[in-house]
Structure 1
Amino acid sequence: MSEKVKETAREEVEKLRALTVDAARSTAYLYPLKGIAYFFTHRSLWKPLTAKLAPTMTLGVGVTTFMFAVTYLPQAAFLAIFNGPLAALTSILLVLSESSTIFTVLSKNFFIEEALLDTFDGTLLTRSQTELVSQGRDVKAGSDPIGKLGKLAKKPFARFAPKAIIRYFMYLPLNFIPVIGTALFIILQGRRTGPVAHTRYFQLKGMSASQKDKYVEDRKAAYTSFGVVATLLEMVPFAGIFFSFTNTVGAALWAADLEQRSNTAPSLRAQAAAAEGQSTGVQR
């Protein structure tokens, strides 16, 4: 039995190592940071955020303040049983995560759903992905990427699913494990957040549910690494709304790069085939 346990542990460690290597190679974890830089240097992308800034900031401050006032001390006292002195820190992370989840549910359903969609599509337009965006909405003439966005064909951001909040509370007990538990909790949240960030991209590509699932599974390390960084940014008190938009910009930049690579690969194959044909002709 002990040999079986050791073998299983070795297999899990090897899987984790492989996923970590894949995540590092993908560099997907850099896209939330790229989104911040790109957002700051492209003022035209600020319009959706500024239009919704006042109500969402008020909501974020209210939710975070309420959660710390009501839930921090009880949770810190309970976590102290498991985490000892670290409970003060892990409780802060836990309350921030809870506040972020509640804020995300409320804001994305009632305040910023369309603003995030416009930000994603507008970012794609700045990267010359007009054909891709036109699969989901009208694109008008002009130089302003947000101003070019016309009528939507479909809205990709679904209302918050009860399954997601149930899964969130199932993961909460992980925070009882000092340090490692909180890290696992954030990783699991990131594993869900990563693919959600590309919901619009999957729709524009016309992927079915099974195609999307396979696409994500083949790139699960990349999506998890993106989701972990995005989750950590959105957990920052009061700045979560800002990072929701920059994460959306980062997700769109990633989608644009994926499109460029997929379009370049067939072109390179065609060039290689043509070169091979010419070489064969010369030999003859």
Structure 2
Amino acid sequence: MSEPKPKKWRGQEDFNKVRALAKSAAKSGAYLYPMKGIFYFLSHKSLWKPLLSKLAPTMTLSVVVIAFMFVVAYLPQLAVLVFVNGPLAAFTTILLTLSESSTLINLLSRTFLLQDALVDTFDGVLVARRQTEILAEGRQLKSGNFNDPIAKLGKLMKSPFEKFTPKALVRYVMYLPLNFIPVVGTVLFVLLQGRTRGHSVHTRYFQLKKWTNAEKEDWLKENTAPYTAFGTVATLLELIPFASIFFTFTNTVGAALWAADIEANNTAMTEMTEPKARDEPKKAQ
């Protein structure tokens, strides 16, 4: 009789799982899309219109929130973190305060200021990439050429991006204690924020695809690594003070470029072309 194979050490299983996720994220190239969004946005001036229309009020909001957080929250948090992070406390507290400020700015701006502008930006990129067939499911399109994709956008027929939910805010607060763990805790905090951020980047795309909640969850579960990679890079960019509004729009452009590539089957993100929930009825036939 052959000897039974020794069980894998739990830590080894976790390491292998993390390595597989990292490999999947690297293979997908999803982490590059926030960067692609920056260059695409800068090279297509017609996409600037939604940002410019909201620049003044959002910048004012950003200045007020960041100033308020550093006056009210920085020193108390520094006093706590200095005991666990030592000389790194000043840096980790700045990162934490900026993260908190970014969350508040996103909560307020996306809910009250930017929602329609971000939808126009996302849809404008789909027009520029000639993905008008899927876009026709969510809004009317005007006649004319594609030189000004924003000008081609007509009336919305479906409600746009989901607003910031209380559930997301509660999850954020739950993750905050991770920052008390030197270095590693802050990295984990950013990664967890990136995962949450990544799960929301294609809300508009899923809406246009008419996917159910089950189908969306299926897709996101199957592609956790790529969406976390995108969300982590997007989160880090949006942590940059006063530039967060710019990166909010460029990240939206990056998400739209990614969606356009998925539609064109030009992405290495996944071998899946549709969620499992959509394939099951076909197999049953």
> Per-residue deviation at 1:156?
3.0
Structure possessing the higher radius of gyration over alpha carbons: 1
Contact 2:115/2:160 (<8 A) preserved: no
Correspondences of 1:134-145 after superposition (within 5 Å): 134-143=136-145, 144-145=148-149
Tell me what 1:237 maps to.
241
Tell me what 1:64 maps to.
66
> Which segment is superposed worse, 76-85 or 227-236?
76-85
Structure 1 stretches lacking a partner, 5+ long:
266-284
Q: Which amino acid is 2:187 matched to?
A: A
Q: Which amino acid is 1:33 matched to?
A: M
Tell me what 1:207 maps to.
211
For residues 162 and 118 of structure 2, what CA distance do their matches in structure 1 show?
Answer: 13
For residues 154 and 130 of structure 1, what CA distance do their matches in structure 2 show?
Answer: 15
Structure 2 stretches lacking a partner, 5+ long:
1-5, 272-285
**TM-score normalised to structure 1 length:** 0.89
Q: Does 1:95 align with 2:77?
A: no
Tell me what 2:283 maps to.
none
Query: Which structure has greater helix proportion?
Result: 1
For residues 160 and 219 of structure 2, what CA distance do their matches in structure 1 show?
Answer: 17
Q: Find the partner of 1:198 among 191, 196, 202.
A: 202
For residues 221 and 170 of structure 2, what CA distance do their matches in structure 1 show?
Answer: 22
Q: Which amino acid is 1:18 matched to?
A: A
Contact 2:116/2:160 (<8 A) preserved: no
Q: Which amino acid is 1:190 matched to?
A: G
For residues 163 and 209 of structure 2, what CA distance do their matches in structure 1 show?
Answer: 21
Tell me what 1:246 maps to.
250
For residues 200 and 36 of structure 1, what CA distance do their matches in structure 2 show?
Answer: 19
Correspondences of 1:1-284 after superposition (within 5 Å): 7-143=9-145, 144-261=148-265
**TM-score normalised to structure 2 length:** 0.89
Contact 2:162/2:203 (<8 A) preserved: no
> Per-residue deviation at 1:262?
7.5
> Which segment is superposed worse, 93-102 or 151-160?
151-160
Tell me what 1:273 maps to.
none
